[in-house]
Amino acid sequence: MGQDFRVSGHDDGRRIDKIIRKKWPDLPLSAIMRAFRKGMVKVDGRRVDFSSRVASGNCVFVPWDDPEAGASKDVSARFRDSRPEIEIIYADNDLCIVNKPWNLLSQPDTAGGESVISRTTAALDWKDTTFLPTPVHRLDRNTSGAMVLALNGVALRALHEAWRRESVRKTYLALVSGETPDEGRIDSPLLKTGEENIVGIDTDRGKKALTRFEKIKGDPSVSLLLVELLTGRPHQARVHLASIGHPLIGDIKYGDRKVNAEWRLLGIQRPMLHSRSIEFRSLPDPMVHLSGKKFIAVPPSDFMGVLSGRGWRLYNRGV
């Protein structure tokens, strides 16, 4: 009983327990740890600790069979059957930047479900069965715009580290109710309640959240803002902007019911938030050539329709 597998290049340098947990997500953690304690997990024939790091090409033995292995190989093929309805802003061997449509999940919520992953896999005609394009960060289902996916394990870990070091700058466009100040800073702590998926300001228990904004255009009924999220809390822009009396147009959860009803008559069906740009301040090899590069995503038709209706043009301000 048991089986061997080779460590892929995507997992080079990773801890062996994390590789095993990714490969067998339904196996209880207690069973995995018990196998390590009893010396039943081996790398190139030698017993290893759960925290040992492995290299590409190492042979790993685990003391269980894998009845799901045959079925899992069909995942990427199933995704390739999806329609490639997503705009690729940039792609190389390590990462891909897409312009995410609204009403699309970043990751599937069911096996084989439609998501940014499935559409990117189809658009790239992905054939690697050992790794699928993986989002480095998430956008809410109804948020559109620039989104980064890693195309291999080494790039995924390097990009996660870049995010942790704040070496990546993300800006958003937001259409909010009312005329805002020319600029502002919001640093109210945020707390998310799991059951209702509602985020609120909580100065005692909330996590630090910082948002900066600059008004691009505005009139008494609506303002166009350039927003930078200096922290990445769930629903941060939506809650912070609502907290200063300027909720996102179309935001049913945190917005103004009367204002939203008026905008629905004009075809606005979602919160008007768009991930405008991704800028890499510094990246390590093999992505160092992207350091200092900025990638911009054009807003979708519902967003641009509001701007054109008021005669506003993004390029006038170089946004």
**How far, in Å, CA of 212 to CA of 225, rounded?**
10
End-to-end CA distance of the chain, in Å? Answer: 60
Answer yes or no: 109 catalytic: no
Nearest to 209 by CA among 190, 227, 193, 191: 190
Nearest to 312 by CA among 238, 213, 223, 241: 223
Type of residue at 276: R
| CB-based contact 98:86 (threshold 8 Å) | yes
Residue 281 Cα distances to 239, 290, 305, angstroms:
27, 8, 32
Structural tokens at position 175: 């259409």
Nearest to 206 by CA among 216, 214, 198: 198
DSSP annotation of 67 reads T
Type of residue at 53: R
> Active-site residue among 11, 94, 140, 256?
140
Q: How many CB atoms within 10 Å of residue 167?
A: 16
**How far, in Å, CA of 61 to CA of 12, rounded?**
17
Of the CA atoms within 13 Å of residue 90, those in its CB half-sphere come to 17
Q: How many CB atoms within 10 Å of residue 127?
A: 9
| CB-based contact 38:180 (threshold 8 Å) | no
Active site residues: 140
